[in-house]
Each structure stands twice: as C-alpha cells, then as structure tokens.
Structure 1
Amino acid sequence: MLNLPSRPDENKDIPIGLVGAPELIEPIVLVLRSFPSFRPIVRPAECDEDTVRCAEELLSEVEVLFMTDPDAFRLVKEKLPSPVPMHYLPLSGAGFFKAICRVLMQTVQSSLPLAGVTVDTFPEETVRHMIKGTDPSLSGMIHICDADRSSIEEIYEFHARHYRNGSSSASLSANRRVAERLEQSGVPCVYIEPADNDIVIALERALLSTETRRSKESQIVVGMVVVDNFDSVIRSRASEHEVQKLRLDVQRTMLDFIERLDGYLTPLGPNEFLFFTTRGLFERETGGYKYISLASQAQKRFGLSLSIGIGFGLSANVAGTNARAALRSTKDAGGGTCFIVREDQTFIGPLEMSEPLQYDLSFRDAELLKKVEEAGLTTAYLSRLFASASRHGKLDYTAVELAALLDLTTRSANRLLVQWADAGLAEPREMRKAGRGRPTQVYVFTFMREHLSEHGISLRS
C-alpha cells in the first residue's frame, strides 16, 4: 500500500502532477523530498484509460505534469493537448547495467549456461553499446524487441517466444506489467528499474520548465554576513598593522565570493557585510541551498566563524527583511551557521558551511571508466574534478590550479597531466601567461563534458 501525498501542501510552491504506475510513483516521491520547491499531487494509474483521465484532471491544478514512464508520456501526449509542460522518467544505462548484472549473477549461481537474453524498450544501438562495455561475449546472445512499435501483448509474446524456443534463458523488461506477466508465466525476468540519479535529472528538467521557476531565477537575494566575536579576534593581534591586514583579507575573501555570484557587496562595518544577487545564481553557487563555501574559506584562512542570513523576496525590501530574520535565527542558534528565509517566510537551513569535495560518479560508459582507471585517474581525484566542474563549469586547468584542487605538488600535477594527456583524457590547449614568469600550459578534461551536460550543468565554452 503506497503512503503518498494526494492533497496539496500549501507551504510549497510549484504543484507537480505525478501520473503513472504506483510502483514507480513511490521512488519518485521519495526523491522529491530533496526538491523543496515542488508540491507533488499524485494520481496512480493502473491502465491507459486511468492515465489519460488522471492527467486531464490535473491540468488545471499543476504547473508541470510528470509521467512515470515513456509509454504513459506518449499516450497522454497523443490523447490530450496540454497547456502545461510535460515530462517523463527516461530509461538510462544505469538501470540496464544493474539488471544485466543480476542476470549474470543468477546464471553463475544456477550453474546453467546462458542461452540468451531478451530486452525490450531500449533502442538496439544503445543496448549493443552497453553490452560491449559490460561483456562483449554477450553481443551475439541479445535479442531486442522494438517496444516503440509494439503493444504490451506483443512485447510479452516476444519474450515468451524466445524463451519457449530455447534462444533465451532470461529476459529484461522496462515495462512493469510485462515483467509481472512473464514471472507469472514462469519466464525468468528482471525488471529494469530507474536509478535515483535518473529521477533527479528528470525532476531537475521538469523544475526548469515551470513558469514559477523561471520567474524565481531573477528574484532578489539579500545576504547579511557577520564575523563572530570579531572584537576578541582583534585583541589577539599583536599590532594595529596586523588588524588592518586581517580586515583587508576578510574583505578580499568576501569580494571573491560575491564575484562568483555576480553580485554587489557593501561593507557595513569592520565585521559586517551586505550583498545582493539573484536567486538563480545563488542556488547554483550553493548547490541548491545545500552548502555555502564562504564560511569554510573564512575558517580555513583566518580561523574566523561567520553568521550568515539570506533573504529571498520579490522586492529588495522584502528580501532585506527576510535576511535580517534569517540572521537573527543564525545568532539564536549560536552563530557559525547560515539560514535562509524565503519570500513566504519559510526557513531553509542550517546550510552546510563547506562545499562537498565529492561528486556522485554515476558513469554509464564502462569503457570510459576502465580507461580512466588505467590512466591513473583515481576515484578520489575524479570526484574532486567533477565537484569543481559541476560548481564552476570549469574543465580547463594549469598544473598549479590542479595541484591546489587535488592537494598535490605542482611537479606531481604536471606529471599526472602529461600522463592523462597521453591516455586521451586531457587535451593540451593554449598557453596561459601568469605574471612575469613563463606561460603555463592549459589542459582541458574533455571527457567530462558529456557527463556533466547530461546533468544539466552549464560549462564554459
């Protein structure tokens, strides 16, 4: 029995209609918890008629419709002209890899030879490519059904026929109804489930298509930053000269942070700052309101604790009032943290006070992953590169920049860059002049571009 919200939660902003198979709606709702802007309205549908009816009911209630699978999306698109954006949960290699690995494991455990595997829904070219990266010996044993041109009955018959005539000993299906019917008929079948990462990407695209989201991109953000216990920090300095240097260093750190936000900074005193930016830029810099790197920089460089209050609003007055309320909450919590007050006076926080150094490496190309590992690009290094690229859109590095990111010596960074260039992972580009010294070589990690683009991350050209 699904325990899913079916009525609106008035504290959230953007109503999204979820229509489709109940077993697929449940994991989508779980992932939706990490999207505070969405208010899910759920309509489980057991058949095609229910899918169209539920979608039609939701058109006047939601800003975006989200279908659980491509079949439901195509059906509603054909039957129902929609005035709101429509999206669906696409299939990817992540779910396929997991399913094929289960088949191979079951074959090993049964000690029976694998006669073949039938697959539906995925295009033939995609399946061949993924199999090549998993186990090339399977290429001649894969039978693919063109699910786009087949009914559920035809897909079922395709799997069952190959199993009955002995050309297949297992089936992979991305259609839940087909998978259940095959199991009931005694045909071994593994259901290809969508991965959480696929759900996140699809929901991000749905969010970006909404009118509310587009208007919020340019919404005003006001930030108030206070250095905690600044007087005691000053008293610990040996001279006035050191105090002045500290103040300049703190202001320079603030300016660097505001530059990334394309914002405007005003010092209100030696230990208090006010800044302005837009919501879209602030969200990207903070990873979707999850962390704020300014605090960790101040702590690491100067041993200072920051209290930060952020306010959103449709006017500067509202945003400023909310920022002050957020700062009070930060102080009430003991300082050294950050809260956000949104335009409806709801709170977000406290935020993490440092950015994550890791990145979710959900590679779908096994060949690429093998190539990366053979070139000595470890998972730890790769994760830091992706974390930096996803935040700054940066794929180009000099040896000095790479050394700072990976916590290496410049000599080691140079050696690794040459090694990765030889493996085709990095490309030497233009020479960059740094000060009065000799120009330094810039390397671009081109292999990361496609992966990051799939996640909707904008990159520098």
Structure 2
Amino acid sequence: MQEIASIIETHGQAVDQWFFSGQSPYHFAHSQGLITEEHAAYPPLHGTSFFGALLEAQYQEEKLIRSASIDTIVPKEIEGATQFHDFKNITFSTYPYEGYLEVEELVSFHRTRFLNKEADVALTCIHAVQQKLQAQGIPCYRVVPTNIAIQMVFRLLIGRAKSEKYRNAQIAIIGCETIAPSMSIQHEPQHSFTQKEKELDLQKILLQMTRAVQGSLVKMGDGLFFIFSTRGELERSQETSSFDDTVNHIALDTGLQVRMGLGVGATVTEAEDHVRLALQHARRYEHSMIVSVNEDKEIQEHVPGEQSMSFSVRSLGEEWMKRFKEAGISPAIASRIRAWMKRYDKDTISTHDIATWLQSTERNGRRVMAELESIGFVTICGEEQSGGRGRPRKLYRLSE
C-alpha cells in the first residue's frame, strides 16, 4: 500500500483520472487524502466475479469444492449468483467490509475457516492475502473483476477526463467594482486625484491576480475591471490565494471596499452575462460581497470571512417562474429566502428575518412577504410578539 502514496505523489500532476485494481487500494488512497471520488474509480466485484476463481480452484485441486471462504463481496451478491446458476450445494463463509482493511485481518479469517474445516479453499480479492495464505500452505485463489466491469470503469474515467477538460476550458470572467462611500462618510469627490490614485493601486493588485490566472485585465469604466481567463486557471490559482485574500488585500493596501463577481460560461458572451448578473446581486449590499454565477445559473453569495450561500433561480420550476413574471416579483429573492431558511434550519420566518437577511427596512420586508403571499409562495402560519409595543409580526411558511 505504501507504493500507492509514492506513485500518486510522483505522477499526480500528470494524471487526470486514476484506475485502481480494487476496493482496498482505492479506499486506502482516499482515506489518506491522496485522491477524491471525482478523480478515481475501481471495477466492482459482482457475484459472477468469483466464478472464474471457483472454476480454477476446482481444476487445480482436482476435486469438487463443497465449501469456500470469500472476502470483500457482500453475501447478497453471492446468493444471487449461486441461486441463478444453481450452485446451492456450495457453502460460502463470507467476510464483507467497506473501505480498507488490514491484510492480516483477512488472512486470519481465511486461515481460521480452513483449519476448522469450514472451507475447502479460500477465495480472496486481495493479492497480498493470496500470497500470505499460499505461503502457509492454504489453497487460495484470486477473485478478479470481469472484463466488462473493467471496460465500464475505463469508459467512466475517460468520460470524466473529457468532461473535466471541457469544464477547465470554460471562459471565466472576474469582475471587480469599487463601492462608493455613502454620502454620510464621503470626504472627497469620487473623481478626485486621491480616488484615482487608489484605483491605480487597485489596478496593480488586479494585475497580480491577472498574472496568477494567466488572464487579461480590461478596465470597463470608473472603478470597474474585468479579468478574462479560464475556469481551470482560476480554480488552480484559488488553491493558493482565495477571493477573500484579494478583497482583504485591496482594503488594506488601497482603503477601497470592493465587490467581486465571477461569471462562468461556455462562451465569452455567456460568461459576461453571468459576471454582470453576479455584480448585480452584489450591489444589493453596501459592504464587500463576492458573488459567482456558473453555467447553470446557480448563484453563490459569500461575505469575506463568512460561510457561503448558494441558490438557483431555475430550481423554482417553470410554473413558479411564470407566476413571478406575471406578478412582477424577482424570483431571485424567493430563491434566496428558501436558501436562507435551509441554511438557518427555519420552518417559519417573519418580516423581521427578511429585513435582516435583505439588509433593508422591516417595511420592505412586509412588502416582499405580501407579494410572495399573493402568488402563493408563502402562507401565513401564525404571529409573534415584536418585543415592544405595536402589532405582532406575522409568521410565514413556504407553501408545499
């Protein structure tokens, strides 16, 4: 097993997908953090997989096998295969397990069954187990995946690799926009020399980011910059420096607050549409916000230093989209409310919750909930005291 770590560490950068010979080496590598489920696979062992080993045992031992011990394969698979092929007279002692198991534990299982006359032969899926048992004089035969299972896994891995290359080649556009100070704290005009100097400092930081993602920096207007790159380069750069780091770096070095948007798409037009949509969502907040929109129009909002929240307008379905359009209500607000309720594990919400989440007044929260109630997206389910004088707040629940 130690060779696995060495092989993966040596060739990891050059390999897109890993093919493992079986369950044990795969789960060993996974448990060590050497691979992910998306980048590796192994051929499964079905009930029919052990027929070859059983036939070999009959031939080599020159006798009719009446009992056998077998590891890894679950009893249900063995029972199904033996009943289908009418092998009811053979008794199997099984040792199924998930993940990775030490070789000595499997060797002990087979040895005990053989010495207790409970198994004529041992059938194992692990090469090291076979070697140790044969060295002890115990007849042991290796169960290997069928050719069909191996071919299916190869097709899966090739399909994954092609999909990953297509995904990495998608266009990614990073949008960075300065947040204008509110009038109450604005000490200097937005077009002052000081402001322009800050934007030049901002541009230097964005140039460093552009170099990291092998991209191209374009100034789109006052305080608005786009970086054109690919999804693969962007994700690779995020392994060493996140958007959080960039936003904090900008705030410390320039004194500017920025909002960032990320748009991904199959074409430049689609990616630009998505980055503008991301910035549009980010403008709802007066503080720094990072918003990304992918090719499925799934939106992810993230405040630097806090947990991200994802939602998708498309998940509402065509019928709801039609209702929102007819009522003139933004479906994005409904999607965000549903995502917030899931995130905070809430069954009911009040207008105060909505005002807090949307960072607006409670009056606006009442207006939003009244509009959602009018189309049946939410229903009134009770009331709660506001904590002060005045009428109690209404409580709402999402409609089924």
Verify same fold: TM over 0.5. Answer: no
TM-score by length of 2: 0.39
TM-score by length of 1: 0.35
Q: Which one has a bigger Cα radius of gyration?
A: 2
